[in-house]
């Protein structure tokens, strides 16, 4: 037996069949154990969630909805999927839940299919200002098949709701999307609903990044206001990779048809079982404590970075995500993300508003606290992490080996303080 505890049995089974894959999985386990994970869209699932993902449910084909399948032998997956639906509705206070989307992007695609037709006008946050590909990017289905009107953030890194209203009144969209993949402020869903009502548009709230904060009351919920709410389950919700659509009961039948047969075939029932487990975990008192710590850790990291002389878009964070603005240092997000990886910290390059660099280079780095909070990091650890990041920024263009080695040692000490998947 190795030092990998719960993972060792699964790895041993894979080794007997495919040593090459087993070795790579083992290397990935080591990487996760020995790296400070600050990618805002990543997290560490529980062992129960991982076990469900690898269960016999992967063998079952189950096109259709629970108790209305096109295949026989679905009596067990029907009950599992129904559990996931019930728990999703309870967690968010929603009228209807579809737990079949394979991803957040496909959840959004299903909403598009139900709510609008190709060529219709849709409003969403610009990708370079913090939106998501599926909110209207020209390289995504949303931008290719719909007339997109984009809104962004002001010089303070905040959504200008008056500007959103002006755009809506001018362009009369049929669907307005609120929510973001990189926005550090509280979103005023009520204001968005007022704007949507004024132009008779549907409102879609994409809460993929803030789902856990919404579920636990640390961020206002869009459920009372939005026609549709989409989320992933693998970010702050700490579940498997997948998506969920919540909606008003009046839209339930249409949304269900849009998911299947509209944009997907058979649902991944092993992943839906893992979603059900994650949703149960999210309903626990411990999860609410976790969500609060996510915010405390993010604020501590932001404060540490600012104290080290670095700029953050919007001047800080009110949720779990923040973006380093490296223009003052004349550094690129690409270089900084690469040196951070050498130093044992994983993050991703990201554009900043009015970025002079290309999306492949960028002037920013996005950081998030969900994964390290799962691991056990507290505010003091985030302060130290901020100091490591600040030192890495200074040497991002030279990558001085001695300094990189010292930073790697410091990050590894934090990782060893909070072992991952070892029991």
Please identify which of the residues 35, 45, 216, 232 carries the catalytic annotation: 232
* Residue in 26, 63, 379, 406 annotated catalytic: 63
Tokens of 165: 């209203």
Instruction: Spot the catalytic one: 60, 87, 185, 235.
Output: 235
DSSP bridge pairs for 367: 322
Q: Which residue has the tokens 């929603």?
A: 94
Q: Are 186 and 219 in contact (CB under 8 A)?
A: yes
69, 87, 174, 241: the catalytic one is 241
| Catalytic residue chosen out of the listed positions 4, 15, 61, 90 | 61
CB 146 within 8 A of CB 122: yes
Catalytic, out of 206, 269, 384, 391:
206
Torsion angles phi and psi, residue 323, rounded to 5? -125, 120
* Sequence-distant (≥ 6) Cβ neighbours of residue 45 within 8 angstroms: 234, 238, 239, 240, 274, 278
Q: How far apart are the first and last CA of the chain?
A: 12
In angstroms, rounded to a whole number, what is the distance separating the alpha carbons of residues 334 and 356? 13
147-151 and 121-125 beta bridge pairing: parallel
Per-residue tokens: 77: 């997956």
Active site residue 27: no
Judge whether 207 and 214 are in contact, CB under 8 Å.
yes
Q: How far is CA 83 from CA 143, 230, 247, 249, 288, in A?
A: 35, 18, 17, 18, 21
DSSP codes of every residue in 54-123: TSGGGG----EETTEESSS--HHHHHHHHHHHHHHHHHHT-SEEE---SSHHHHHHHHHHHH--TT-EEE
241: annotated active-site residue: yes
Beta strand pairing call for 68-69 and 64-65: antiparallel
CA torsion sign for 146, 147, 149, 150 is positive
Helix (H) or strand (E) holding 244: strand 243-247
Name the nearest CA neighbour of 368 among 419, 323, 315, 416: 323
* 206 in active site: yes
- Active-site residues, by number, are 61, 63, 206, 232, 235, 241
């Amino acid at each position: 037996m190795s030092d990998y505890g719960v993972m060792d049995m699964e790895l041993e089974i894979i080794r007997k069949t495919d040593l090459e894959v087993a070795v790579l999985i083992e290397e990935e386990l080591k990487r996760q154990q020995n790296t400070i994970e600050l990618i805002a869209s990543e997290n560490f699932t529980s062992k129960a969630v991982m076990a469900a993902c690898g269960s016999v449910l992967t063998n079952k084909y189950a096109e259709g909805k629970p108790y209305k399948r096109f295949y026989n032998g679905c009596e067990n997956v029907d009950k599992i999927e129904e559990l996931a639906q019930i728990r999703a509705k309870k967690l968010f206070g929603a009228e209807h839940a579809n737990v079949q989307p394979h991803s957040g992007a496909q959840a959004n695609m299903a909403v598009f299919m139900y709510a609008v037709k190709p060529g219709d006008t849709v409003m969403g946050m610009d990708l370079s200002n913090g939106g998501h590909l599926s909110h209207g990017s020209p390289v995504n289905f949303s931008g290719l098949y719909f007339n997109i009107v984009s809104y962004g953030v002001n010089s303070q890194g905040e959504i200008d709701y008056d500007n959103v209203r002006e755009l809506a009144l001018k362009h009369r969209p049929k669907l307005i999307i609120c929510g973001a993949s990189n926005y550090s402020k509280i979103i005023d869903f009520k204001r968005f609903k007022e704007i949507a009502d004024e132009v008779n548009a549907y409102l879609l709230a994409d809460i993929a990044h803030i789902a856990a904060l919404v579920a636990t009351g640390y961020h206002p919920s869009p459920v009372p206001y939005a026609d549709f709410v989409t989320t992933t389950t693998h970010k702050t919700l700490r579940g498997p990779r997948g998506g969920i659509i919540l909606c008003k009961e009046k839209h339930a039948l249409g949304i269900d048809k849009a998911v299947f047969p509209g944009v997907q075939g058979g649902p991944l029932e092993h992943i839906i079982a893992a979603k059900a487990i994650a949703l149960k975990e999210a309903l626990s008192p411990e999860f609410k404590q976790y969500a609060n710590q996510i915010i405390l850790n993010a604020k501590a990291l932001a404060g540490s970075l600012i104290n080290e002389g670095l700029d953050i878009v919007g001047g800080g964070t009110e949720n779990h995500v923040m973006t380093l603005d490296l223009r003052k240092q004349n550094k690129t997000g690409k270089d900084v993300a690469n040196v951070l990886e050498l130093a044992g910290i994983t993050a991703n390059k990201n554009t900043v508003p009015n970025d002079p660099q290309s999306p492949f280079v960028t002037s920013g780095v996005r950081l998030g606290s969900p994964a390290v909070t799962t691991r056990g990091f507290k505010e003091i650890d985030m302060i130290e992490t901020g100091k490591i990041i600040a030192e890495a920024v200074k040497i991002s263009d030279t990558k001085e080996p001695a300094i990189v080695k010292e930073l790697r040692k410091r990050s590894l000490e934090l990782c060893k303080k909070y072992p991952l998947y070892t029991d």
